Amino acid sequence: MPPQSQSADNAPGNDTAEQNAEALLRRQRIAAAYDPHLVAAAGERLAHQLSRAVAGMQKGDGLVLPGGRPEEQVARAASFLSRVPHKEASLVDRFEGLVSTAVSQGIALHHPHYVGHQVPPPVPLAGLFDAAGAVTNQGMAIYEMGPWAMAVEQAVVRQLAERLGWSPEQCNGLATHGGSLANLTALLTARNVAFPSAWQEGLPRTGPPPVVIAHADVHYCITRAAGILGLGTRQIVPAGLDHRRRLDPQHLDDTLSRCRRDGTPVIAVAACSGSTPVGAFDPLEAIADVCRRHEVWLHVDAAHGGGALMSRQHRHLLQGIDQADSVVLDAHKMLFMPALCTFLFYREKRHAYAAFQQNAPYLFSDTASDDTSCRLDFDGGLRTVECTKRATVFGLWGVWSLFGESLFADLVDEVFAKAQRLYAMLTEADDFEAIHEPQANILTFRFLHEKLRDAPPHVVSAFQQHLRTRVVESGTFYLVTTQLDGATVLRTALMNPLTSDADLATLITTLRDTARSIDVAQLPVLAGP
Among 478, 416, 466, residue whose Cα is nearest residue 442: 416
DSSP string, 458-492: HHHHHHHHHHHHHHHHHTS-B-EEEEETTEEEEEE
Dihedral sign, CA of 55, 58, 62, 63?
Answer: positive
> Between residue 302 and residue 331, which ones bind a copy of itself under the rule CB under 8 A?
330
Q: Select from 43-51, 245-253, 429-437, 515-523 the region that touches a copy of itself (CB under 8 A).
A: 43-51
Instruction: Tell me which of 167, 170, 202, 456 binds a copy of itself, using CB under 8 A.
Output: 202
Pairing outcome for strands 298-301 and 172-176? unpaired
Q: Select from 113-121, 248-256, 294-302, 317-325 the region that touches a copy of itself (CB under 8 A).
A: 113-121
Among 503, 435, 517, 506, residue whose Cα is nearest residue 470: 517
Q: How many residues bind a copy of itself (CB under 8 A)?
A: 203
Instruction: Tell me which of 21, 106, 316, 513 binds a copy of itself, using CB under 8 A.
Output: 106
343 binds a copy of itself (CB under 8 A): no
> Between residue 379 and residue 398, which ones bind a copy of itself under the rule CB under 8 A?
385-391, 394-395, 397-398
Q: Select from 240-248, 251-259, 292-300, 481-489 the region that touches a copy of itself (CB under 8 A).
A: 481-489
Q: Select from 84-92, 260-268, 283-291, 294-302 the region that touches a copy of itself (CB under 8 A).
A: 84-92
CB of 300 to a copy of itself, least distance (A): 18
405-427 exposure pattern, b = at least 16 Cβ within 10 A, e = fewer: eebbbbbbbbbbbbbebbbebbe
Burial-class residue 380 by CB neighbours within 10 Å (0-12, 13-18, 19+): buried
> Between residue 260 and residue 299, which ones bind a copy of itself under the rule CB under 8 A?
276-277
For a copy of itself, what does the binding mask look like between residues 405 and 424, x meaning CB under 8 A? xxx--xx-xx--x---x--x
For a copy of itself, what does the binding mask look like between residues 137 and 176, x meaning CB under 8 A? xxx-x-xxxxxxxxxx-xxx-xx-----------------
Instruction: Round to whole Å and give the CA distance between 120 and 116.
Output: 9
Instruction: Round to whole Å and give the CA distance between 317 and 327.
Output: 15
Backbone angles phi, psi at 270, to 5 degrees: -110, 110
Instruction: Tell me which of 215, 332, 347, 446 binds a copy of itself, using CB under 8 A.
Output: 332
The three-class DSSP label of residue 369 is coil
> Between residue 236 and residue 265, which ones bind a copy of itself under the rule CB under 8 A?
none
> Between residue 437 and residue 466, which ones bind a copy of itself under the rule CB under 8 A?
465
